[in-house]
Structure 1
Amino acid sequence: MDATVDTDTDTNAAPHSPEAFDALEQLVGVNLARLRAERQLSLDALARASGVSRAMLAQIESARSVPSIKVLCKVAAALKVSVAAFLRRHATNGFEHLPAERSTRVVSANGRYSARPLYPNDESAVAEFHELRIAPLHTEAGVRRAPGTTVNLVVSDGTLEVSVHDRRQLLATGDAIVFDADQPHSLRNPGDTEARAFRVTLRAETPPRWDVPAAGATREEAVRDRALD
């Protein structure tokens, strides 16, 4: 049984709707104000350090303006954070502590396999990070994911046999493997003690649509066919 949660942070607002932009302005503003306060910087001090005017910084913090990437890069450099720090939703203090005793561990029906999410699972994530536990002599079939999804797995304790289609790879403690998760795959613990592993699942990116006109087709025909698709 796999522990994956897919949720949207704002299911009511379309990606390019006015509501979505308002939410983005608010998010960037709140995070900028928090980061500046943590560093005990005044607006004037941050303006001098970043080269961004005090007026612009005040507009960003009050959610009256969405800054350009260039402006955000300047401010991020001055605050010594990544640009992504302005877009955090799950970590109001810049980090989120995930105590082991309060974690949600998903256990298979027979109790011989479990997965614990090691990332905030209340919002959609490009990468999923799990701790796995596999009982002795147990085989757990993997859940096939969308094409382009990859798994990076490292064994932290014991041994694991990873099967992808009809190919098998035995992993000892410390060994790692990367494989395509859209293929039939499974994990087997061949040992007589519990095996543990850490798994990172990288979700597939939506590929661009490459429109290749049929031989002899005109550009207008290609556009028409794309609209009907």
Structure 2
Amino acid sequence: MEKHSPKRDAAVENTLAALVADRLKQLIALEGRSFERLAKLSGIDPSELLRIEAGAVAPTINHLWRIANALGVPFGRLVASSARRGVQVLRNNARQSVTSQDGKFSTRPLFPYDGARMAEFYEIVLAPHHCQHVEAHAPGTKENLVVAKGTIEIAVGRESPQILQEGDAIDFLADVPHLYRNLGAAPATLYLVMSYEFCPCDGAV
């Protein structure tokens, strides 16, 4: 497998930062949206949010979830290109993964929300023994996960935790807090399809 060079990783990170900045500017500009209100609702420090909006820094997955929830839009709305027509090929050596602040959880938008469909497809990688807590998504949001590599524990709200092996799948309502825990000593890979009960941003950019 081809290894990523620091220079290429930096270029991909800069591309992602610019894409998120562009989408965020458009969403903030919508009627009834304001930078100040977004900072308050998301709980992100205004100076940090300003840097993300300016494209000066690539946001972490924690940033994006908070921003998406505050705006009431799908996560993918912040990372999807505005022009997605015809055949789309996503090269592995140009992957645009969004990571957590500690770098132990990353998600790669394979086919994020683009306004034409009400589902998103992601690749998720969890570092060994890492536990990722996820905030509740919009009401009616569903997650369908399949484990491609490793052993994963998934806990949803107050339900009993479930242990999934390679090839196992799980489907649940994700509008409550939930977590993914890698139980193994090697990185684990999952594939996630996220669907919405209704279009959360009709008429949005």
Normalising to structure 2: TM-score of the pair? Answer: 0.56
Q: Is the 8 A contact 2:135 2:176 kept in 1?
A: no
Q: Is the 8 A contact 1:154 1:175 kept in 2?
A: yes
Alignment partner, residue 164 of structure 1: 156
Q: CA deviation at 1:170?
A: 0.2
> 2: distance between equivalents of 1:96 and 1:151?
23
> 1: distance between equivalents of 2:112 and 2:145?
19
Alignment partner, residue 76 of structure 2: 5
The structure-2 alpha-carbon separation of the partners of 1:206 and 1:101, relative to structure 1 and needing over 3 Å to count, comes to closer
1:96 aligns with 2:167: no
The one-letter amino acid of 1:141's match is H
Alignment partner, residue 198 of structure 1: 191
Alignment partner, residue 174 of structure 1: 167
Q: Would you say how many aligned residue pairs link Structure 1 and Structure 2?
A: 125
Q: Is the 8 A contact 1:160 1:187 kept in 2?
A: yes
User: For the aligned residues, what is the CA RMSD?
Assistant: 2.4
Normalising to structure 1: TM-score of the pair? Answer: 0.50
Structure with greater Cα Rg: 1
Q: Is the 8 A contact 2:155 2:162 kept in 1?
A: yes
Q: CA deviation at 1:120?
A: 5.3
Q: CA deviation at 1:108?
A: 0.7
The one-letter amino acid of 1:155's match is V
Q: Is the 8 A contact 2:153 2:162 kept in 1?
A: yes
Alignment partner, residue 146 of structure 1: 138
Alignment partner, residue 44 of structure 2: none
> 2: distance between equivalents of 1:206 and 1:128?
12
The structure-2 alpha-carbon separation of the partners of 1:103 and 1:137, relative to structure 1 and needing over 3 Å to count, comes to same
- Structure 1 residue runs of 5 or longer lacking an equivalent are 12-88, 208-229
Q: CA deviation at 1:184?
A: 1.4
Q: Is the 8 A contact 1:161 1:168 kept in 2?
A: yes
Alignment partner, residue 188 of structure 1: 181
- Structure 2 residue runs of 5 or longer lacking an equivalent are 1-60, 65-74, 201-205
| Greater shift in the superposed pair: 123-132 or 161-170 | 123-132
Alignment partner, residue 82 of structure 1: none
> 1: distance between equivalents of 2:173 and 2:149?
23
> 2: distance between equivalents of 1:178 and 1:142?
16
1:109 aligned to which of 101, 106, 111:
101
Q: CA deviation at 1:144?
A: 1.3
Runs of 4+, deviation exceeding 6 Å: none
Q: CA deviation at 1:175?
A: 0.2
Q: Is the 8 A contact 1:146 1:204 kept in 2?
A: no
The structure-2 alpha-carbon separation of the partners of 1:112 and 1:206, relative to structure 1 and needing over 3 Å to count, comes to closer
The one-letter amino acid of 1:6's match is R
> 2: distance between equivalents of 1:179 and 1:173?
18
The one-letter amino acid of 1:102's match is A
Structure 1 segment 56-67 matched on structure 2, within 5 A: none
The structure-2 alpha-carbon separation of the partners of 1:106 and 1:206, relative to structure 1 and needing over 3 Å to count, comes to closer
Question: What SS is found at the alignment partner of 1:6?
Answer: helix
